[in-house]
Amino acid sequence: MERRQHAVVIGGGIAGLAVAGALAGRFRRVTVVERDASADGAAFRAGVPQSRHLHSLMGAGQRALDDLLPGFTDGLYAAGAVPLRTPYDHLWLSPAGWCHRFPPSHTVPSASRELVEWVLRRRVSGLPDMVVRDRLEVTGLVADDERVTGVRVARRDGSGAEEVTADLVVDASGRRSHAARWLAALGHGETGTTLVDSRAGYASRCYAVPEGFADEWRVISIQPGPGQPTRGGALVQVEGGRWLVSLYGYLGDHPPTDEDGFLAFAASLRHPVLHDVVRDAEPLGPVHGFRHMANERRHFEDLPRWPQGLLVVGDAACALNPVYAQGMSVAAMTARRLRALLDEGVDDCAALQKETAAGNDRAWRIAVGADLAYLGEAPVDERARREAGRMGRLLELAMVDAEVNRVFFDVMMMLAEPDALATPALAARLAQGPARP
Ligand SMILES: Cc1cc2nc3c(=O)[nH]c(=O)nc-3n(C[C@H](O)[C@H](O)[C@H](O)COP(=O)(O)OP(=O)(O)OC[C@H]3O[C@@H](n4cnc5c(N)ncnc54)[C@H](O)[C@@H]3O)c2cc1C
């Protein structure tokens, strides 16, 4: 990228918008190309079917978005996001038992995915020299022998096609990205893929928070555990006086999408509290299902020859089982890393692709480590095995010990490295063994 005149981002989802924020000011012009029509406000759109389901933003993702687009969190609260104090506002039944009600250690905004995206989009659209073009579908890359020089787009109103030239194209088009196919057609070979599928499935529904609700908690999370190893569910308060309830099941034990089946599944969790709360609440729409949640990593960074002028980020490069709520945060952190690398003068796209791919490693290890355990398979490597064992023991302690709980949340929210859980002080606490939850 000797010239930094124009960058094109494919996809106006969370990864695309975060990357657009990262490229702003580093390229003379940035264009985001999105297939869907935009709505005036937070609304469902067909290109992001997952937005009907619970989307928790981790503390690290929130920070990354604030770094990229200052004022993001304030904007999210102004648009109606609900502050969640962790763990104070949570009724949390973990695999190791109930979590004590400890004083708040973090406050994070809780909102629907649609609101998060809309607030991001407004911020990004307001940046100088930024254009967000809707109803344009990227149908292919334009390239010469050395580099990608732009994209081919088709207008979705049927009025024709065009080529948009760019010094950098960033594919952030999500799980259904065509990047691997496009690269193969350009002669770059087959992209290797790792797939780990614990056959998880979601079903979600919104309810009105009942009038006079005492607001003694804002989250209920019942995780799979002893007695009910495959089923879990969460209820989270979001904007608009709504509870968003997502039920999930592993190994094909999927929650049904009919009214009775949904409630019966909720009643079958390890504790009936979530069911008892929603049973009498007013539903605000139908139940929606989602089934394609495998961890899928495309190893673009391993291709022997990588074209200058192209990067692939977000779910297009590394899609994670959403039960662990990492995708948006990883996308935001990748975008921030990309900005830092560009600011250091790294211009070689092969190096940028490798560096941004490395940023997915930790989230990948967590999601795949947990899913391999569901599948009854051994962890991918020794480090993953050690981390899983330590996290299991620490979880028990985190349920009953305020200090451990705080550090545990830091690590869960990716605000601290897992090493924060390996200090001598924590080792001494662990050696004492957990008190009873
Ligand atoms: C059920 C479910 C629940 C989830 N829960 C969480 C959670 O709790 N926390 C969390 O952090 N993450 C969660 N995620 C993951 C999260 O949705 C994604 O990881 C994150 O949003 C990053 O996605 P993305 O922007 O890469 O892709 P997407 O969100 O899929 O966006 C891709 C965009 O590209 C557009 N597009 C696609 N093809 C083209 C094309 N050819 N031309 C132009 N535009 C195109 C699409 O219309 C879309 O707007 C969940 C995912 C699922 C499936």
What pLDDT, in 10s, does the model give residues 332-384?
A: 999 999 999 999 999 999 999 999 899 999 899 888 888 888 887 766 667 76
Residue nearest ligand 1's atom 31 by CA: 13
Claim to verify: residue 278 and residue 152 sit in the same structural domain = no
Instruction: State which of 32, 34, 300 you would mutate to test the pocket of ligand 1, scoring each by most atoms of that ligand within 8 A of its C-beta.
Output: 34
Cα(238) to centroid(ligand 1), Å: 19
Q: Kindly report the number of other CB atoms within 10 A of residue 168's CB atom.
A: 26
Task: Report how far ligand 1's centroid is from the alpha carbon of 320 (Å).
Answer: 11
| Ligand 1 atom nearest 175 alpha carbon | 30
At which of 273, 290, 307 does a domain end?
A: 290
The answer to whether the CB of 232 falls within 8 A of the CB of 273 is: no
187 with 301, same domain? yes
DSSP per residue over 283-345, as a string? B-S--EEE----EEEE-GGG-SS--BTEEE-GGGTEE--GGG--HHHHHHHHHHHHHHHHHTT
What is the DSSP pairing of strand 318-319 with strand 219-222?
unpaired
Burial profile 144-162: b = 16 or more Cβ within 10 angstroms, e = fewer: eeeebbbbebbeeeeeeee
Tens digits of residue pLDDT in 243-296: 999 999 999 999 999 999 999 999 999 999 999 999 999 999 999 999 989 999
Domain that holds residue 158: 6-55+112-195+294-365
- Confidence at residue 21, expressed as pLDDT on a 0 to 100 scale: 98
Q: Among the atoms of ligand 1, which is closest to the Cα of residue 56?
A: 8
In this structure, of 102-111, 134-143, 406-415, the range with the lowest mean pLDDT score is 406-415
Residue nearest to atom 1 of ligand 1 (CA): 50
Counting beta carbons within 10 angstroms of the beta carbon of residue 432, is it exposed (0 to 12), middle (13 to 18) or buried (19 or more)?
exposed
From the CA of 433, how far away is ligand 1's center (Å)? 41
- Mean pLDDT, rounded, of the chain: 92
The answer to whether residue 308 scores a pLDDT higher than 80 is: yes
How far from 331 is each of 22, 196, 232, 306, 366, CA to CA, in Å? 11, 20, 25, 21, 16
Q: Looking at ligand 1, which residue's alpha carbon is closest to its atom 41?
A: 138
Q: Are residues 339 and 402 in the same domain?
A: no
Report the distance separating Cα 128 and Cα 122, nearest Å.
12
Q: Can you tell me which atom of ligand 1 is nearest the CA of 328?
A: 11
Same domain, 179 and 325: yes
Q: Distance from the CA of 279 to the center of ligand 1, in angstroms?
A: 30
Residues 409-415 have a mean pLDDT of 87
**Cα–Cα distance measured from residue 335 to residue 314, given in angstroms and rounded to the nearest whole number:** 9
On whether residue 18 sits in a domain, the answer given is yes
End residue of a domain, out of 290, 310, 336: 290
Distance 19 CA to ligand 1 centre (A): 13
Burial class from Cβ neighbours inside 10 Å (0-12, 13-18, 19+) for residue 409 reads buried
Residue 101 has pLDDT above 80, yes or no: yes
The residue nearest atom 37 of ligand 1, judged by CA position, is 173
d(CA 190, CA 250): 31
Nearest atom, ligand 1, residue 331 CA: 22
Domain harbouring 361, CATH code: 3.50.50.60
274: Cβ–Cβ under 8 A, 6 or more apart, which residues? 220, 222, 233, 234, 235, 245, 266
Identify any residues that bridge with 6 across adjacent strands, giving them in sequence order. 29
CATH of the domain at 237: 3.30.70
What confidence tens digit (pLDDT) does each residue in 183-232 have? 999 999 999 999 999 999 999 999 999 999 988 999 999 999 999 999 99
Say yes or no: 150 and 251 in one domain. Answer: no
Q: What is the pLDDT of residue 436?
A: 58
Distance from residue 403's CA to the centre of ligand 1 (Å) = 35
Compute the distance between CA of residue 225 and CA of residue 97 in angstroms, rounded to an integer. 9
Please say whether the dihedral angle defined by the alpha carbons of residues 330, 332, 335 and 337, taken in this order, is positive or negative. negative
Q: How is residue 165 written in tokens?
A: 């030239």
Question: Beta-carbon neighbour count of residue 126 at 10 Å?
Answer: 9
**The tokens 């609700």 sit on which residue?**
213
Q: How far apart are CA 268 and CA 249, in angstroms?
A: 11
Ligand 1 midpoint to CA 313 (Å): 11
Calpha distance 129→42 (Å, rounded): 24
CA distance 22 to 16: 10
* pLDDT higher than threshold 70 for residue 92: yes
Tokens of 24: 């702003």
Best substitution site from 328, 330, 366 to test ligand 1's pocket, by max atoms within 8 Å of Cβ? 328
Residue whose Cα lies nearest atom 35 of ligand 1: it is: 11
Triad 409, 383, 400: Cα angle to 5°: 30
Contact residues of ligand 1, CB 6 A cut-off = 10-16, 33-36, 47-48, 50, 53-56, 137-138, 172-174, 202, 290, 293, 314-316, 322, 325-329, 331
Same domain, 206 and 268: yes
Distance 83 CA to ligand 1 centre (A): 23
Number of structural domains found in the chain: 3
Q: 14-23 and 113-125 are packed helices; what angle lies between their axes, rounded to 10 degrees?
A: 20
State mean pLDDT over 120-143. Answer: 96
Same domain (yes/no): 126, 45: yes
- Of 8-12, 37-41, 91-95, 100-104, the one with minimum mean pLDDT is 37-41
Looking at the fold, whether 171 and 305 belong to one and the same domain comes out as yes
Tell me which residue has its CA closest to atom 23 in ligand 1.
315
Q: How many CB atoms lie within 10 A of CB 360?
A: 23
Contact present, 295 and 364 (Cβ < 8 Å): yes
Q: Are residues 49 and 151 in the same domain?
A: yes
